[in-house]
Amino acid sequence: MILQQYKIVFAGSMGAGKTEAIKSLSEIPVLATEAFNTDQEAHEKLQTTVGIDYGEITLEDGVKIGLYGTPGQTRFDFIWSVICEGAIGIILLIDHSIETPLQELDTYLKTFKAHSHNIAIGITHVDQNKEKSLSIYRDWLKENQYSYPLFFIDARQPDHILLMIESLITALEVNYNLTS
């Protein structure tokens, strides 16, 4: 069951909500590789992904998509390319509440655009730092001449994650002229 015809990868900073996003949509119990977080300086959460998270969703037309989550810590970057192999798209999640979200976005985007051009960006935890403007992300994307879809989401909300998945599928249909 883990080998799917279609695969979407969830990547991004530690604590941004990759595991929660997969849990919010998966129709099967999520295979999670959570372990005690020994890097409290990076994030204060108790557990963190140290391998691959895996879930599945079936689209309206019956197509199954495997949902693969990467560990967010760069010390696990050796596995990122393996997880991304064969993916139809990448959902990049960035935690708005951290001190340097644009630096995180830059780092993860530079890394993951080497694995796919079909990327959607989700900014999470926007409710935890209301003083920081959300326009910084649009401005940064424009300044760097990127045209990736940008969403402000709650990773626990299935409709938010599904919207991002739909944007990746729509981009594939448009870019490869697959629409009827």
The least confident of 29-33, 34-38, 72-76 is: 34-38
Average pLDDT over residues 121-136: 90
In a domain, residue 35? The reply is: yes
Checking if the pLDDT of 72 tops 90, the result is: no
In a domain, residue 149? The reply is: yes
User: How high is the pLDDT of residue 3?
Assistant: 45
CA-wise closest residue to 95 among 71, 126, 120: 126
Checking if the pLDDT of 80 tops 80, the result is: yes
**How many domains is the chain partitioned into structurally?**
1
Question: The domain that contains 29 carries what CATH number?
Answer: 3.40.50.300
In a domain, residue 180? The reply is: no
Q: Could you list the residue range(s) of the whole structural domain that residue 103 is in?
A: 6-175
Checking if the pLDDT of 32 tops 80, the result is: no
Answer whether 148's CB lies under 8 Å from 16's CB. no
Which letter does DSSP use for residue 61 in this model? Answer: T
Q: In angstroms, rounded to a whole number, what is the distance separating the alpha carbons of residues 14 and 94?
A: 8
Checking if the pLDDT of 46 tops 70, the result is: no
Between the CA of residue 144 and those of 16, 93, 109, 136, 147, what are the distances in Å?
Answer: 22, 18, 11, 12, 9
Average pLDDT over residues 88-106: 96
In a domain, residue 1? The reply is: no
CA-wise closest residue to 87 among 15, 13, 24, 5: 5
In a domain, residue 120? The reply is: yes
